[in-house]
Amino acid sequence: MHITLAAGRFVRMLLSALLLSLAVLAHAADAPTGIRLYVIDCGRIDASDMSLFDDSGALDGKPGTMSVPCFLIRHPKGILLWETGLGDAIADHPNGIDFAPGIHGSVRIRLVDQLKALGLKPSDIDYLAFSHWHIDHTGNANLFGNATWILQRRELAAATGLAPPPFESLAPVSAYKNAKMRLIDGDADVFGDGSVRLLSLPGHTPGHQALQLQLPHAGVVLLSGDLYHSREARRLRRVPRVNVDRAATLASMNRFEAIATRTHAKVVVQHDPRDIALLPHFPAYLH
Ligand SMILES: [Zn+2]
């Protein structure tokens, strides 16, 4: 009798252990098994005079269009938003607004609506990072006060210092004061597994950086930030006029290209609409 009871208890223990492992497996199947990169339309810039973006003078008086993407990275350990675009408030102006003489910004579709299409609210974003704090990258930053802001100490110091770089208004980023912050000096590994890395590439601004992703199928992807503003700028190593340190920018280009060559990376020049057009159309993703 006692033996039968003990055997019964043992079978029940086995069964509950089996059910528990099945539950764990089912949960694991729900979570993304790899990393996904979504490209989000965060506006566009139309300039009647691109002279700000090339100090050689080659673009003086010439018109141009720049894409303004945001990128959402879904990693099993959390969600990172890279860049926040021109700002959803601009969508209220169907014809856009002028940022500077001859520099026109417009937002066709709001970032919050695109997050909603993925079933996300701004408060679901775990980590926020920017290539730099120019206003075409910080427009929606204050939506993400719940996220951990990963900031280059030098970028924060410059923007909050006595002589902030041009186009680095603090108003769109004021939520940093109350947000959880991870201050970094140089490169950083966002999730600790080498798959999502911030690359320190100063020059355009004091704390400018790019993002390096190691995707399961697509391989290494490098998101340029504003190291280059177009494919031609990359090919010709053109430094923009809006820039704080020319020598540092050229050194950053050298470093970026060495990494791109070594890793056989797919390089995305964020402000070049041709590069954005080659990426999966939202809500499709690269993985
Ligand atoms: Zn920019």
Tens of pLDDT, residue by residue over 192-204, are: 999 999 999 999 9
- Fill in the DSSP letter of residue 208: -
Q: Is residue 13 predicted with pLDDT exceeding 80? A: no
Rounded CA separation 278/276 (Å):
5
Residue 26: inside a domain: no
Query: How far, in Å, is the centroid of ligand 1 from the Cα of 134?
Result: 6
pLDDT band at 100; cut points 50, 70, 90:
confident
Percent of the chain with pLDDT over 90: 87
Residue 24: inside a domain: no
pLDDT band at 23; cut points 50, 70, 90:
very low
At 58, which CATH number?
A: 3.60.15.10
Residue 212: inside a domain: yes
Average pLDDT over residues 45-68: 97
Neighbours of ion ligand 1 (CB under 5 A): 136, 226
Q: Which domain holds residue 199?
A: 33-277
Taken in order 112, 229, 158, 81, the sign of the CA dihedral is: positive
Query: How far, in Å, is the centroid of ligand 1 from the Cα of 226?
Result: 5
Residue 202: inside a domain: yes
CB-CB contact of 105 with 43 (8 Å): yes
> H or E element: which one contains 210?
strand 209-215
Q: What is the pLDDT of residue 18?
A: 47
Residue 129: inside a domain: yes
Min mean pLDDT across 24-38, 96-110, 178-192, 249-263 is at 24-38
Query: How far, in Å, is the centroid of ligand 1 from the Cα of 271?
Result: 7
> H or E element: which one contains 182?
strand 180-184
Residue 11: inside a domain: no
Number of domains, the chain: 1
Query: How far, in Å, is the centroid of ligand 1 from the Cα of 9?
Result: 66
Residue 228: inside a domain: yes
Residue 187: inside a domain: yes
Whole-prediction pTM value? 0.88
- Fill in the DSSP letter of residue 144: G
Query: How far, in Å, is the centroid of ligand 1 from the Cα of 167?
Result: 10
